Amino acid sequence: MKAKNANKTCWNCPAAIFKGHVDFRACGQSIEPKFVDGEQSIMIECERRPDLGLYEPSITLEQCTEWQLTEYGYMLKNMRIMILGIDGYLGWTLALKLGSLGCKISGIDNFFRRNCVDEKDSHSVIPINNIHERIKAAKEILGIEIKFKEIDILDRKELRNFLDEVKPEAIVHYAECPSAPYSMVDCDHAIKVQTNNVIGTLGLLFLMKEIVPETSLIKLGTLGEYGSPLTGRALFEGIFPGEAVLNWNNTEWSLGGELTPRDPVSFYHVSKVQDTFNIYEACKYWWLRSYDVMQGVIYGVHTEQVAADEKLRTRLDIDEWFGTVVNRFVAQAVMGFPLTIYGKGEQIRGFIALEDAMECMTRLIISPPEPGQYDVVNQVSGLYKIRELAETVAKVGKEKFGIDVKIQRVENPRVEAEKHPFNVVSQKLPNTFGFKPKVSLEKEITRMFQLLTQEPIRKKIEEKAHLILPETWWSGDKKQVETLEVYKPGTKELKGYEPKLITEERNE
Ligand SMILES: NC(=O)c1ccc[n+]([C@@H]2O[C@H](COP(=O)([O-])OP(=O)(O)OC[C@H]3O[C@@H](n4cnc5c(N)ncnc54)[C@H](O)[C@@H]3O)[C@@H](O)[C@H]2O)c1
């Protein structure tokens, strides 16, 4: 079968440099474009193939000698990819995956994550070396070269120099604080998260406009930007589809093409919503191009590359600030700590295994958007109730590892609906980019048990057991949550709404 991106053209290629005064507008009321002298079409020069001279941007990726066919589709040879936040859970994993595909990897990090985890007096329960040791191991074990600079994304002078030096052809932006509870600790933490995330991204957009306007930005948002509408309205992929209609007071308007409503659930999530608008505007004003990834919660420890050697593993946190739910549940089970569900546990969220998430990112990176294109993908492979996750972790633990663990409901320190419908549209990754999930929830949980039950890791989990129960309340209180109920897995019926993940392009 033909690769999904085979028919894309120079329009999508970061090596295509537009020539002459091409005045694009994306406000819906475009002015007449002005063309290169005498030419009646938009002309480009190829940064990679200067021998082609000035030409119309019509060569397909399939025809171009700079693009090669891979299992993910056509990919720019030795594509220069800069990962912002390369020392993090996802950044490190992606660097190794893309490096193993032959991409030229560069990255920055200022160790924001390591410092916040220190602030909690916690640690990654999977031991990780400092970035320099990690980079050395990547070279020795996988033959991957990584060009790294310790830079704070807020330091625009340093970031400008590095962008100018590398001239990346895609930028993956992970360099944000990823924690909702951390942003709810107090005023200082909320300001720190919003400054880091919002101002960091805004500054980056200005630098991209100046230095690498042809480069695509693959930016991590979160599914939590949308909230969980109590009406059950589907969570579309960021932008209403063409058929969507608003009917009010006997009048109908099309909503097609407009950004969908956002209903963030913490000051962290608000920072992501603000990013969404800033990126959307930058694409509109300056013809930048971006995929904004509404990311479900990622769980797991496995990709081929991070599993290749213990020196290559990625971090895993379990404390109340940085431990995400599935990762934390498996760690809790490993030490026999009841799996803590906040409130009713019927909250539904979107999830995806680490390996699948990395595959989605690879597919997005190699198929860049067109100039001015702001697009959103919902990156998720399964929707689960929190109680259901606890049951699955307990079941895998018992059946495959002989571990008996209880489930414990505690007070919910968050302000969130504990019972709600949840219908998520995720059509673009499977249909436009050819993504098919490979890793089931049970499979990744099994891999996690295999790793986390290893003695040195189990010990590191036990050392931080006291940091698991939440103390950070959305109300601003700082107190341990009370237990509401403790029960044996498999003894309670799962109630509430059935979520729906809509992946088919037409769902009649
Ligand atoms: N892990 C998930 O389940 C998940 C889900 C939804 C969205 N996301 C988003 O994905 C991105 C990466 O998440 P992660 O889980 O890998 O988090 P992470 O904290 O492990 O990674 C982020 C990295 O960025 C770095 N960083 C933060 N601020 C920086 C700055 N100012 N300058 C330079 N580096 C900086 C951190 O030190 C860290 O290494 C985040 O934007 C997060 O919000 C993650």
Taking the C-alpha atoms of residue 85 and residue 188, their distance in angstroms, rounded to an integer, is: 22
How much distance in Å is there from the Cα of 220 to the middle of ligand 1? 9
Amino acid at 435: F
Q: Which of 228, 219, 196 is nearest to 113 (CA)?
A: 196
Mutate to test the pocket of ligand 1, among 90, 96, 194, 355 (most ligand atoms within 8 A of CB): 90
Ligand 1 atom having least distance to the Cα of 295: 6
Helix (H, G, I), strand (E, B) or coil at 129: coil
How much distance in Å is there from the Cα of 174 to the middle of ligand 1? 5
Residue nearest to atom 26 of ligand 1 (CA): 175
* Model pLDDT, residue 21: 67
Residue nearest to atom 11 of ligand 1 (CA): 174
Q: Are residues 439 and 390 in the same domain?
A: yes
Residue in this structure with the two tokens 């995330």, named with its chain if needed = 197
Ligand 1 atom having least distance to the Cα of 322: 19
Q: Are residues 26 and 171 in the same domain?
A: no
Residue in this structure with the two tokens 């191009």, named with its chain if needed = 289
Domain boundary pick from 50, 70, 90: 70
Q: Are residues 435 and 404 in the same domain?
A: yes
Q: Are residues 259 and 375 in the same domain?
A: yes
Q: Are residues 123 and 28 in the same domain?
A: no
Q: Are residues 10 and 131 in the same domain?
A: no
Residues with CB under 6 A from ligand 1: 85, 87-91, 108-113, 152-154, 174-178, 196, 200, 220, 222, 295, 297-298, 324
How much distance in Å is there from the Cα of 152 to the middle of ligand 1? 13
Q: Are residues 298 and 169 in the same domain?
A: yes
Regarding beta strands 67-70 and 73-76, do their DSSP bridges make them parallel or antiparallel, or are they unpaired? antiparallel
* Model pLDDT, residue 34: 55
Taking the C-alpha atoms of residue 19 and residue 55, their distance in angstroms, rounded to an integer, is: 10
Taking the C-alpha atoms of residue 32 and residue 434, their distance in angstroms, rounded to an integer, is: 36
Find the CATH number of the domain harbouring 439: 3.40.50.720
Domain boundary pick from 53, 70, 87: 70
Residue nearest to atom 39 of ligand 1 (CA): 88
Taking the C-alpha atoms of residue 105 and residue 271, their distance in angstroms, rounded to an integer, is: 27
Ligand 1 atom having least distance to the Cα of 293: 7
Other CB atoms within 10 Å distance of the CB of residue 163: 22
User: Has residue 334 been placed in a domain?
Assistant: yes
Residue nearest to atom 15 of ligand 1 (CA): 89
Q: Are residues 58 and 92 in the same domain?
A: no
b/e per residue, 368-406, with b = 16+ CB within 10 A?
bbebbbbbbbbbbbbbbbbbbbbbbbbebbeeeeebebe
Torsion sign (Cα): 172, 176, 180, 181 = positive
Q: Are residues 124 and 257 in the same domain?
A: yes
* DSSP letters spanning 240-276: --TT-EEEETTEEEE-TTSBPP---SSHHHHHHHHHH
User: Has residue 507 been placed in a domain?
Assistant: no
Q: Which of 416, 502, 421 is nearest to 232 (CA)?
A: 421
Contact 363, 73 (CB under 8 A): yes
Structural domain count, the chain? 2
Measured CA distances, 85 to 71, 91, 153, 187, 233 (Å)? 26, 6, 9, 24, 34
Ligand 1 atom having least distance to the Cα of 299: 3
Taking the C-alpha atoms of residue 482 and residue 471, their distance in angstroms, rounded to an integer, is: 10
Q: Which domain holds residue 439?
A: 78-502
The residues pairing with 377 across neighbouring beta strands, listed in sequence order, are: 293
Q: Are residues 82 and 39 in the same domain?
A: no
Helix (H, G, I), strand (E, B) or coil at 458: helix
How much distance in Å is there from the Cα of 265 to the middle of ligand 1? 18
User: Has residue 508 been placed in a domain?
Assistant: no
User: Has residue 151 been placed in a domain?
Assistant: yes
* Main-chain phi, psi angles of 186, to 5 degrees: -170, -175
Mutate to test the pocket of ligand 1, among 131, 149, 174, 351 (most ligand atoms within 8 A of CB): 174
Residue nearest to atom 4 of ligand 1 (CA): 297
How much distance in Å is there from the Cα of 269 to the middle of ligand 1? 13
Ligand 1 atom having least distance to the Cα of 86: 39
Q: Are residues 163 and 142 in the same domain?
A: yes
- Please report, in tens digits, the pLDDT of each residue of the chain (508 residues total): 899 999 999 999 999 998 876 666 666 665 555 555 555 678 899 999 999 999 999 999 999 999 999 999 999 999 999 999 999 999 999 999 999 999 999 999 999 999 999 999 999 999 999 999 999 999 999 999 999 999 999 999 999 999 999 999 999 999 999 999 999 999 999 999 999 999 999 999 999 999 999 999 999 999 999 999 999 999 999 999 999 999 999 999 999 999 999 999 999 999 999 999 999 999 999 999 999 999 999 999 999 999 999 999 999 999 999 999 999 999 999 999 999 999 999 999 999 999 999 999 999 999 999 999 999 999 999 999 999 999 999 999 999 999 999 999 999 999 999 999 999 999 999 999 999 999 999 999 999 999 999 999 999 999 999 999 999 999 999 999 999 999 999 999 988 899 999 999 864 4
Residue nearest to atom 20 of ligand 1 (CA): 88
Q: Are residues 493 and 358 in the same domain?
A: yes
Domain boundary pick from 40, 70, 100: 70
Residue nearest to atom 12 of ligand 1 (CA): 174
How much distance in Å is there from the Cα of 271 to the middle of ligand 1? 13
* Model pLDDT, residue 241: 95
**Residues annotated as catalytic (active site), given as ranges:** 222, 268, 272
* Model pLDDT, residue 36: 54
Q: Hey, what long-range contacts does 396-401 have (CB within 8 A, 24 or more apart)?
A: 396/442, 396/445, 396/446, 396/449, 397/330, 397/333, 397/334, 397/449, 398/489, 400/446, 400/449, 401/449, 401/453
How much distance in Å is there from the Cα of 203 to the middle of ligand 1? 17
* DSSP 8-state secondary structure symbol assigned to residue 69: E
Measured CA distances, 507 to 254, 426, 432 (Å)? 20, 12, 16
Helix (H, G, I), strand (E, B) or coil at 325: helix
- Ramachandran class of 14: left when φ > 0, alpha when ψ lies in -120 to 50, beta otherwise: alpha
Ligand 1 atom having least distance to the Cα of 223: 6
User: Has residue 121 been placed in a domain?
Assistant: yes
How much distance in Å is there from the Cα of 180 to the middle of ligand 1? 12
Residue in this structure with the two tokens 């990962």, named with its chain if needed = 83
1 CB-side CA count, 13 A: 7
* DSSP 8-state secondary structure symbol assigned to residue 195: I
Helix (H, G, I), strand (E, B) or coil at 8: coil
Task: Find the Cα–Cα–Cα–Cα dihedral 171, 173, 174, 177, rounded to 10°.
Answer: 160
User: Has residue 210 been placed in a domain?
Assistant: yes
Residue nearest to atom 5 of ligand 1 (CA): 297
